[in-house]
């Protein structure tokens, strides 16, 4: 979402309270985010219905519900439910107690609505539901007695995390996990904008990894729309984002355990065909690209040196001495906090637009990671006149996301092969 659009929504939309990351995450024993942040969704107060709900989605806080079973059950839920959550007297939802059940229902709505707003802005149009022929709105069920969560055809339903001994942990509701909700919505965006393979002979190996990567990237870019998160991220890293930090960890489950790590050293030769594992090189390549865009902007504004940028690159030739790099970033960041933040938000929006343009161009049939790579280069050429093409190529090349050795695009073609040179006629004298 552009900074300008965010300012407009703040004046026109409906306000909610959201935690950028789960409340159980701590640092030195203290919560990373002790209080929620006020965010604004695009739906104006007059159009947010009890639930909360609007014309695209609705929350139903079901009672005594079992998880939907594939091919057996699905929306709409018609059983008993808790009363729908309503707005305060001012038309907003910032009055809700963060420890209440109503807050959890409102959080689920606000997260999905907010993430959809962000990505519709990058795409430049409304993203229709892939299930719209069957259901007009997305059904969201925030709390069921289940140690899991799932997205399906026309619905999202969330339970709870697990304790170390495997039982349900009611202190960790998935509906309050922004990353997880954003990731699941990312799948819906891809189903809508890319589609699914139709050829029965297509095994969809890279398509599966791409889907998981897109879900993670949807969450990462959306997370960067929390001011409190961005401020904390930069204060802790001083702009040296190629270190382990909150931005590169998706689907936080505990202080030290997460579903996947965007900052990783995985290449295509390191992963198999399982979609989550296979997603890592692609997610890593895009994450590296976004950080390189950020650092290049810092160089352009003379906030860091080109030499420091080179030494802090996540490639086989870098990074250099981590302690020296950290100290140099800290010195550069001191006194330039707002400039660093502006560069990061610029890189966020550049990456969001590049991804939206790339995803819009892809065919799901026989998709390969090279298609994604080529799509990003083409998108950059169209959006930024190719300004960032070299960064994209370098970040993808060391992940070994490149042309396959035997691809037809590497076959040599001579004039003879093309029939454009007459055959040599040998004559005797």
* Cβ-proximal residues to 312 (8 Å cutoff; 6+ apart), any chain: 240, 242, 295, 318, 319, 320, 325, 329
Token pair for 12: 């026109």
Percent of the chain, pLDDT > 70? 87
Domains of the chain: 1-193 (3.10.170.10), 213-406 (no CATH)
Instruction: Give the per-residue pLDDT at 257.
Output: 42
Question: Percentage of residues in the chain with pLDDT exceeding 90?
Answer: 69
Question: Which among 103-117, 148-162, 320-334 has the top mean pLDDT?
Answer: 103-117
| Predicted local distance difference test score (pLDDT) of residue 263 | 76
Tell me the average pLDDT of the chain.
88
| 73: Cα within 13 Å, side-chain hemisphere | 9
E strands of 207-329, at which residues?
Answer: 249-252, 258-261
Residue 143 vs residue 264, higher pLDDT: 143
Alpha carbon distances (Å) from 183 to 5, 109, 175, 211, 219? 22, 15, 12, 10, 5
Residue-wise pLDDT tens digits, 329-351: 999 999 999 999 999 999 999 99
Kindly indicate the confidence band of residue 314, based on its pLDDT and cuts at 50, 70 and 90.
low
Q: Is the pLDDT of residue 123 over 80?
A: yes
- How much is the pLDDT for 245? 60
DSSP lists the bridge partners of residue 162 as: 168
Those residues whose C-beta lies under 8 Å from the C-beta of residue 182, and which sit 6 or more positions away, are 111, 115, 215, 218, 219, 222, 223
Q: Which residues contact 238 (CB under 8 A, 6 or more apart)?
A: 326, 329, 330, 332, 333, 334, 340
Confidence of residue 242 (pLDDT cuts 50, 70, 90): confident
User: Residues near 34 by Cβ (< 8 Å), separated by ≥ 6?
Assistant: 23
* pLDDT at residue 424 in the model: 57
Per-residue pLDDT tens digits for 372-411: 999 999 999 999 999 999 999 999 998 999 755 445 555 5
* Residue 162 to residue 148: CA distance in whole angstroms: 8
Asked whether the beta carbons of 123 and 83 are under 8 A apart, the reply is no
- Which residues are registered as beta bridge partners of 260? 250
| Separation between Cα atoms, residue 418 and residue 429, nearest integer Å | 31
Q: Which of 203, 113, 102, 85 is nearest to 143 (CA)?
A: 102
Q: Which of 105, 87, 98, 124 minimizes the C-alpha distance to 34? A: 98
Nearest of 76, 43, 81 to residue 65 by alpha carbon: 81
For position 306, what pLDDT does the model report?
92
SS3 label, residue 59:
strand
What is the mean predicted confidence (pLDDT) over 349-371? 96
**What is residue 259's predicted lDDT score, i.e. its pLDDT?**
47
Whether the per-residue pLDDT at 315 is higher than 80: the answer is: no
Q: What is the DSSP string of 231-260?
A: HHHHHHHTT--SSS-GGGEEEE-SSS-EEE
Tokens of 5: 């659009």
């Amino acid at each position: 979402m552009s900074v300008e659009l965010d300012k407009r929504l703040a004046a026109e939309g409906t306000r909610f309270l959201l935690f950028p990351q789960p409340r159980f995450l701590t640092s030195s024993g203290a919560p990373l985010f002790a209080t929620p942040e006020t965010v604004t969704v695009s739906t104006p107060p007059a159009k947010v219905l009890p639930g909360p709900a609007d014309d695209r989605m609705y929350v139903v806080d079901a009672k005594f519900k079992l998880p939907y079973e594939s091919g057996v059950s699905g929306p709409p839920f018609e059983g008993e439910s808790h009363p729908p959550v309503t707005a305060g007297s001012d038309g907003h939802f910032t009055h809700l107690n963060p420890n209440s059940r109503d807050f959890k229902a409102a959080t689920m709505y606000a997260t999905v609505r907010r993430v959809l707003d962000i990505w519709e802005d990058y795409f430049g149009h409304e993203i229709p539901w892939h299930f719209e022929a069957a259901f007009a709105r997305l059904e969201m069920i925030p709390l069921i007695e289940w140690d899991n969560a799932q997205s399906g055809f026309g619905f999202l339903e969330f339970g709870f995390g697990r304790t170390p001994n495997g039982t349900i942990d009611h202190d960790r509701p998935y509906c309050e996990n922004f990353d997880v909700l954003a990731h699941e919505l990312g799948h819906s965006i891809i189903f809508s904008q890319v589609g699914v393979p139709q050829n029965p002979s297509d095994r969809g190996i890279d398509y599966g990894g791409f889907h998981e990567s897109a879900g993670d990237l949807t969450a990462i870019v959306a997370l960067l729309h929390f001011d409190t998160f961005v401020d904390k991220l930069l204060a802790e890293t001083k702009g040296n984002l190629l270190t382990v930090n909150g931005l590169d960890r998706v689907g936080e489950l505990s202080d030290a355990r997460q579903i996947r790590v965007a900052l990783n050293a995985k290449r295509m030769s390191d992963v198999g065909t399982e979609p989550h594992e296979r997603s890592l090189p692609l997610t890593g390549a895009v994450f590296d690209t976004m950080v390189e865009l950020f650092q290049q902007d810092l160089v352009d504004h003379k906030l860091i040196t080109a030499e420091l940028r080179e030494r802090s690159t996540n490639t086989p030739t870098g990074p250099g001495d981590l302690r020296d790099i950290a100290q140099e970033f800290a010195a550069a960041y001191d006194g330039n906090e707002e400039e660093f933040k502006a560069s990061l938000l610029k890189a966020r929006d550049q990456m969001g637009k590049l991804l939206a343009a790339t995803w819009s161009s892809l065919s799901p049939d026989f998709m390969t990671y090279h298609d994604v790579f080529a799509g990003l280069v083409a998108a950059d050429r169209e959006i930024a006149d190719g300004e960032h093409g070299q960064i994209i190529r370098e970040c993808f090349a060391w992940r070994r996301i490149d042309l396959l050795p035997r691809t037809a695009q590497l076959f040599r073609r001579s004039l003879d092969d093309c029939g454009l040179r007459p055959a040599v006629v040998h004559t005797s004298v």
